[in-house]
Structure 1
Amino acid sequence: MPKHKKQESSSSSDSDDGPVDRNPPAEKKAKMGNRTADKEPTWVLQGKKLVKVREFKGKVYVDIREFYEKNGDLLPGKKGISMTPEQWKKLLSLGDEINETLGSLC
C-alpha cells in the first residue's frame, strides 16, 4: 500500500500528500470571488476580507466582513459591517471626498 501512495504523490497532482493539502484554502478564495460559488454575490477585498450582497431576515444588505475558516468552511466573523442599500449608496456618494482626504494624508 505505501508503494501505491508513493506512486500517487510522485506522479499525480491530486494526491493527498504535500503541497496539495495547502491548496484548498486558495481554491476557496478563488471560488468566493465567483458570484455563483455560494449563491451570494461575493468579492474578495484582501485575504479573507469579503464583500457580499446578502439577504438577512428578508432584507438585503451589503456586508463587508472578515471571514474565518472552520472545518473547511468560510464563516462570517464579528469584524465587519452590514449596510442597507441606502447606506451603501451614501458611502459611495462620499467616495470623492474621502479620496481627496486620503490623498492629502498619504
Structure 2
Amino acid sequence: MPRSKKVLHSDCSDSHSNEQPPAKRAKTEKQRLSSGVKTEDGTVFDLDRYKRVTVREFKGKLYIDIREFYEQNGKQLPGKKGISLQPEQWRKLLSMTDDINAALAEH
C-alpha cells in the first residue's frame, strides 16, 4: 500500500480518553470486535484496527470479504489486500480450523 494512504479504523482516535477505566475500555473493544454491525454494505465485523470481515451480497451472490481499509479524503475505502470467499469456501476454511491450529502450535 502506498505510504500516502492511511489505514483507518472506525473507532480510531489520536488521544486516549480517561472517560472509561482500562478494564471497561477493554471489554467494550472485545464486544465491538465480536458482534457484527449491519450497514448498507452488509454485516461488518472488525478483526483489528485495520482489518474487517464483511458478509455482503455482490451481483446477487453472497460473499465473506476479509479486507484491509484505508482513509483517503476523509472516506473509508477498501484496500487491495483482501479476499472474498464464497459461502462454500468459508465453510471449508472453518472445517480446517483444528488442523490450522495444530500447525500453528508446531511453530
What band does the TM-score fall into relative to the shorter chain?
0.5 to 0.7
- Considering only CA atoms, is the larger Rg found in Structure 1 or Structure 2? 1
Q: Which residue of 2 aligns with 1:58?
A: 60
TM, length-normalised to structure 2 = 0.64
Higher helix share: 1
Q: Deviations over 1:21-54 (max 9, x none)?
A: xxx7527xx8896513445211111112100001
Larger RCO, structures 1/2 (Cα 8 Å, 6+ apart): 2
Q: Deviations over 1:71-96 (max 9, x none)?
A: 22211111000000000000000000
| Distance of aligned partners of 1:99 and 1:49 in 2 relative to their CA distance in 1, 3 Å threshold | same
Q: Which residue of 2 aligns with 1:89?
A: 91
SS at match of 1:79: strand
TM, length-normalised to structure 1 = 0.65
CA distance in 1, matches of 2:37, 2:11: 17
Tell me, yes or no, if the aligned pair for 2:12 and 2:49 is still in contact at 8 Å. Answer: no
Aligned length: 80
Gaps of 5+ in 2: 1-9, 14-28
Q: Which moved more, 1:88-97 or 1:40-49?
A: 40-49
SS at match of 1:41: strand
Q: Which residue of 2 aligns with 1:20?
A: none
Q: Which residue of 1 aligns with 2:44?
A: 42
Aligned-residue sequence identity (percent) comes to: 50
